[in-house]
Structure 1
Amino acid sequence: MPVPSPHRTIEIPDVSVYDLLFSSLTPAELGRTALTDSATGTTVTFGELRRQVDLFAGALAHRGIGVGDVVALHAPNSLAFAVAFHGILRAGGTVTTVGALGTAGDVAKQVTASGASLMLTVGLLGTAGVEGAKDAGLADSAIIDLASADAGLASLLGEGHAAPAVTVDPATHVAVLPFSSGTTGIPKGVELSHRNLVANIVQVGPLLLKNGQTPDSVIMAVLPFFHIYGMNVLLNSSLYNRTHLVTMPSFDLPRFLELHQEHHIDFTFVAPPIAVVLAKHPLIDRYDLTSLTTVLSGAAALDDKLAEAVQRRLGVAVLQGFGMTEASPVTHVSSRGETPLASIGLPVANTECKVVDLTDPDFHEILPPGNEGERSDAGEMWVRGPQVMLGYLNNEEATEVTLLRDGWLRTGDIVQYDYEGNVYVVDRAKELIKYKGYQVAPAELEALLMSHEGIADAAVVGYIRPDDGEEVPRAFVVPQVGLDGSPVAVDKEELIAWVAARVAPYKKIRMVEIAEVIPKSGTGKILRKDLRDVPVSV
């Protein structure tokens, strides 16, 4: 039997994202602080934000944008992003968010694939947005730099056009069209309806309040809004809970810490790479972080030892969530004081979860173990709920493989249950290393390497040995930085022996490469595909 959510079933409002977040504002909430843009120093209330969203929608409608039109949004975390994103939705359009670090080629591919007729970009991100849009065939008049003094955000709002009257079906209208990260393959456009996003906002919002957020919370928003985690968990769920969001355009450790100290931030969303910094970097001790009570990690699995290190150092509660673009994104969130640190917890409201045996052609279901302290066999996690996508854009074959006819979404993640049904992420199905018939999870070895005092960051990939064709674990490690700013020396053979003393023989690391940085996506997922073809050092 699937594991159901422990939370009560909730009614999903049959409304658009705009109506959920802005039409329900009370007179008292209109004057509350909604967002501070740390790059510009601008702070807006909920009432001011709604007014700007409406004016932006009016400006888009004046340019012919309406129901069925796709607008590409290429911008860092900022007030401009929030206004443009919700303005597009308010005008009846569909937003396709473009990664901040994408090349012109990446932008052109996404603009073309999504059918975007307008590009909104920001010069701070360079020329990729403009060049990519032009390469995709957009005219100069269809490319707007939101930071432009003459024709940017302020100019559009200053036109004073009223928001249009728009009617859409929340269940079928595609609100956003993010492209999956491509960490294991070619990025695909994910069709998410207003109902998908609304469902996940009302599923997640109350759990954030249960886990330490309050209406008076000040939230750090450094994880990118262009990614579904930043978009619907940080931006939209924070607006839904009427909290104060402080945005950062990109991660910079001193500025990150300054903002926590200056704004008395109490709730921070991170990905594992930031958790590593919070646990290990000496600069942390120079700032007053006593206001911080909660750190919630998502986008990739967080090791329990790393979580413990962050808790001890900062005196905070560390929580985990699990999600994917195809689920808007959240399917699981841990519970403060109840869920083991290594677990992503139980399903959110209105959501079912099951684990299936991939070695069985009939996908036999794996059940939670019967005794405390035990873990189930590992298998692929499947989820089902109202937040699950409509499908992949113009890709019926991929949709049928991932989204099954009875509503189950195949996550591609290998997990285990404990006896209470809590889920533990083992690794991505496509990234497991097969050594002499044994399955080796890179994430397990990475977590172990990260516990070494001389290692600041690590990644593990499979390497096919040319002499015998055997796939073996190969580690890439970034040395820890000393107080003088210089890297700590790492002896490869000693590190191999250190790991070997702590794992089963088939899990031993056979090769070590010293790296300056571990390649990662904007949300902190290790890009193992970028490491597999790195030449072996002599």
Structure 2
Amino acid sequence: MGVQRFLSSARLPISRLALPQPPTHVLPPRVLRSVASLRAYSSGIVSSPYNDVHIPEISVTQYLFDAQEPYADKTALVDGISGHSLTHGEFREQCHRLGSALTRLGVTKGDVVGLVSPNCPEFAVTFYGVAAIGAVNTTVSSAYLADGIATQLFNSGASVVVAHKGVLPAVREACEACPDVRHIIVIHAAPEDEQAGLLSYQTLLKDDGKAFPQTVQIDPREDMVVLPYSSGTTGLPKGVMLTHYNLVANMQQLQHEDISTLNNTGDKQEVFLGILPYFHIYGMVPCMGMSLVSGSKTVTLPFLKPELFVKTMEKYKITYLHTVPPILDFLASSDMVKPELLAPTHSVLCGAAPIGTTLITDLLKKFGDGIYFQEGYGMTEASPVTHVTPRTKFVMGSTGVSIPNTLTKIVDLNTGKTLQPDGGEGELCVKGPQVMKGYYKNEEATRATIDPEGWLHTGDIARMDQDNNVFIVDRLKELIKVKGLQVAPAELEDLIRQLPDVTDVGVVGMPVDRASGEAPRAFVVLSSGSQLSLKAIEDFVEGKVPPHKKLAGGLEYVEAIPRSPTGKILRRELKAMALSRLAQ
């Protein structure tokens, strides 16, 4: 066991601190495989220090089901609330049965199925059952209210929705605004749900499987498997087209022997805690996907409550723990968490938002070096992982080096030139097989994010040291990170503008605490003589958005919103103004 980390701004890192430190090199010798790679390095384009991995040209479900074969009799998923479990073999069978039932409902290749559910074994079965018949998942946050659900279902063109009974009221309201939705399938449906014309998920699982489309042809590089929504570097949420090849690539990359700490050989079986939301790309691929493809066991929890978290950790002896900064803060600072709670845990990984060195130090002080703490970097548009810290050299504050098959460069913001390692700060750009196909029905946004040479422009300002470790310095993009979740200022601004008497509005992220990171703060300009109160604005927003998008950072009136000559909101000026007032 060792101590390593896994960070991200939708992003992910790695290193075993207990190991002796080898001599450092500007570029490890094994990367220098050819004159071409030397030329690439001299141009500032940096390859991964890890050997490339083979990426099979198959669907993600074939990839998964083939990998599960040796583990068919081992437990794959456990519902942390009910205790109900599935083996890997039962999981594959249920995916097959659900795929057959969906086919009988008219779902065919390319159709979009909305999936609105907290974490549970049924989420994973639905995701891969939909993928197995060539259909596309669009995963929706179960914290969304009806408006947010409707927006994603409508934009994605979903024709069927699978919803957990706990979110059914919001889903039913949302579907009233989505005429293309033909069926709502309810996980753990009650008798009255079926009487209301809704379909029972558990009833569909009794299908005999005979309608499963055995001959469906999937083009891994072109066919989508999932359409999650991300705000990208700015603006409103957009559908991220991730293909079968994208997901297979990222899971292959993460299983590289110099990265993965998973060990399911013999009688050993890793145990994951499925607490990070599966609708989010971090929960979807590194957590749910990697657990299944590696033959591990995952205990799912639908929500994070401290007592339940601790009780589940103790009962199931979690060996491999994915976290986000709020969970790390809880582990490091809560009296409920004793050092022995992580005794069975050999690896702790953190992603989705940056973590400060203070939190890392507190964590290691409490739990020692018996844990391998992993940190890294990625984003939804990269399926999601692009960087992890090297196992042999942990660098505090770094998001690591590029993973196999992945190129990195830092681009000067003023000149557009690629900087050499240790050559200053610029925008982080990456290229690899995990990079998305593009934004759904949004070519303009795609062109703004992926350039003609295939480089994904992340919107993060970073620097790279001589060992090719990447350090995230700031965000060029405007996104606000709240407990690892994205909040697009433009989305809140558009919402607030719906109110009468609001003539202009600007939203920025304000620092709150090390667990939450930031929270949205709105600056509002009212028309002359308006009586609209701050409380009325706050209540209006609160009734329209999920908890992480509420104006927890504050709300204030201003005479004008600072803008550039082209009309762009100068968010840094707004933020500086607010910080100055708070300091006074």
Do they superpose with TM above 0.5? yes
2:237 aligned partner:
187
What is the CA distance between 1:532 and its match in structure 2?
6.7
| SS at structure 2 position matched to 1:195 | helix
Matching residue within 316, 320, 325 for 2:380:
325
Q: Given that residues 523 and 556 in structure 2 are in contact (C-alpha distance below 8 angstroms), is that contact kept between their aligned partners in structure 1?
A: no
Structure 2 Cα separation of the partners of residues 312 and 280 of structure 1: 11
Residue 537 of structure 2 is matched in structure 1 by none
Partner residue, 2:51: 8
Please show how residues 158-177 of structure 1 align to structure 2 within 5 Å. Answer: 158-162=206-210, 163-165=212-214, 166-177=216-227
1:162-203 deviations in Å (ceiling 9; x for gaps):
322211111100111000057943000011110011111111
2:349 is matched with 296
Paired AA for residue 174 in structure 1? M
Deviation at 1:12, TM superposition (A): 0.8
Task: Write out per-residue CA displacement over residues 500-538 of structure 1, whole angstroms, 9 at most, x where no aligned residue.
Answer: xxxxxxxxxxxxxxxxxxxxx99x9x8698737456899
In structure 1, what is the equivalent of residue 411 of structure 2?
356
Q: Does the CA contact (< 8 Å) of 1:190 and 1:393 recur in 2?
A: yes
SS at match of 1:4: coil
Q: How does 1:144-159 map to 2 (within 5 A)?
A: 144-149=185-190, 151-159=199-207
Closer/same/farther in 2, CA of residues 245 and 458 from structure 1, 3 Å limit: closer
Question: Within 2, Cα distance between the matches of 1:167 and 1:357?
Answer: 43
Residue by residue, what CA displacement relative to the aligned partner does 1:31-87 show, whole Å, maximum 9, x if unpaired? 111111112211111101000000000000111111111110001111110111111
Aligned partner of 1:273 in structure 2 is 326
Q: Distance in 1 between matches of 2:302 and 2:373?
A: 24
Q: Following superposition of structure 1 onto structure 2, how do residues 138-537 of structure 1 map, counting pairs within 5 Å?
A: 138=180, 142-149=183-190, 151-162=199-210, 163-165=212-214, 166-181=216-231, 184-206=234-256, 210-215=259-264, 216-285=269-338, 288-315=341-368, 316-360=371-415, 363-369=416-422, 376-431=423-478, 450=514, 459=518, 531=553, 533-534=555-556
Residue aligned with 1:288, SS: helix
Q: Residues of 1 paired with 2:391 and 2:319: CA distance?
A: 15
Cα–Cα, structure 1 residues 99 and 460, in superposed 2: closer, same or farther, change >3 Å? closer
The number of equivalent residue pairs is 456
- CA distance in 2 between counterparts of 1:82 and 1:69 reads 18
- 1:432 to 1:15, Cα distance in 2 relative to 1, 3 A: closer
Q: How much has 1:134 moved relative to structure 2?
A: 2.0
Identity, % of aligned pairs? Answer: 36
Q: Secondary structure of 1:206's partner? A: coil
1:118 is aligned to 2:177: no
The alpha carbon displacement at 1:152 in A equals: 2.2
8 Å CA contact 1:68, 1:94 repeated in 2: yes
Q: Assess if the C-alpha contact under 8 Å between 1:170 and 1:195 holds in 2.
A: yes
Q: How far is the alpha carbon of 1:384 from its aligned partner?
A: 0.1
Q: Is the 8 A contact 1:39 1:78 kept in 2?
A: no
CA contact (8 A) 2:233 2:477 kept: no
- Return closer, same or farther for 1:388/1:432 CA change in 2, 3 Å cut-off: closer
- Match of 2:230, SS? coil
Query: Compared with structure 1, are the counterparts of its residues 17 and 31 closer, same or farther at alpha carbon in structure 2 (3 Å cutoff)?
Result: same
From the superposition, tell whether residues 75 and 464 of structure 1 become closer, same or farther in structure 2 (CA, over 3 Å): closer
The amino acid across from 1:12 in the alignment is: I
Deviations 1:265-314 (A, max 9, x none): 01111111111111112211297331122211111111122112112212
Q: Which has the higher contact order (CA 8 A, sep 6+)?
A: 2
Match of 2:169 among 120, 127, 134: 127
Distance in 2 between the 1:57 and 1:332 partners?
34
Paired residue for 1:18, among 31, 42, 61?
61
Aligned-residue offset at 1:461: 7.9
* C-alpha distance in 2 between matches for 1:154 and 1:461: 40
1:194 to 1:105, Cα distance in 2 relative to 1, 3 A: same
Worse overlay, 156-165 or 424-433: 424-433
How far apart, in 2, do the equivalents of 1:310 and 1:359 lie?
39
Offset, 1:237: 1.3
Superposition deviation, residue 366 in structure 1: 1.9
Shift of residue 462 of structure 1? 8.9
Q: Displacement of 1:238 after TM fit?
A: 1.3
CA RMSD, aligned part only?
Answer: 2.9
Instruction: Write the distance in 1 (CA, Å) between the matches of 2:552 and 2:450.
Output: 27
Question: SS of the residue aligned with 1:344?
Answer: coil
Task: Decide which of 90, 96, 104 is 1:48's aligned counterpart.
Answer: 90
- Change in Cα spacing, 1:102 to 1:528, as seen in structure 2 (3 Å) is closer
Normalised by the size of structure 1, how large is the TM-score? Answer: 0.79
8 Å CA contact 1:317–1:336 kept in 2: the answer is: no
Q: Is the 8 A contact 1:257 1:287 kept in 2?
A: no
Aligned to 2:255, the other structure's residue is in SS state: helix
Return the letter of the residue paired with 1:418: D
Structure 2 portions without partners, runs of 5+: 1-43, 192-198, 481-507, 526-544, 558-577
